[in-house]
């Protein structure tokens, strides 16, 4: 399971509504809206991750 970086929901990688690649890593999203928000400003959503 993955965590949607935008809304923090748990997402099953196999059934995720959308994915994005950023800096060599795949991110999984619960909805297209979360993917769009992430794609518009990925650093905003990753700033708290190590």
Please say whether the beta carbons of 38 and 29 come within 8 A: yes
34: Cα separation from own chain's centroid: 7
Q: Dihedral through CA 4, CA 15, CA 18, CA 24, nearest 10?
A: 70
| pLDDT tens figures, 8-43 | 999 999 999 999 999 999 999 999 999 999 999 999
- The reply to whether the predicted model has a pTM over 0.85 is yes
């Amino acid at each position: 399971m993955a965590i949607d970086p935008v809304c923090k929901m748990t997402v099953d990688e196999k059934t995720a509504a959308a994915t994005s690649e950023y800096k060599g890593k795949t991110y999984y999203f619960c909805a297209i809206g979360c993917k769009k928000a992430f794609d518009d400003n990925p650093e905003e959503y990753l700033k708290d991750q190590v």
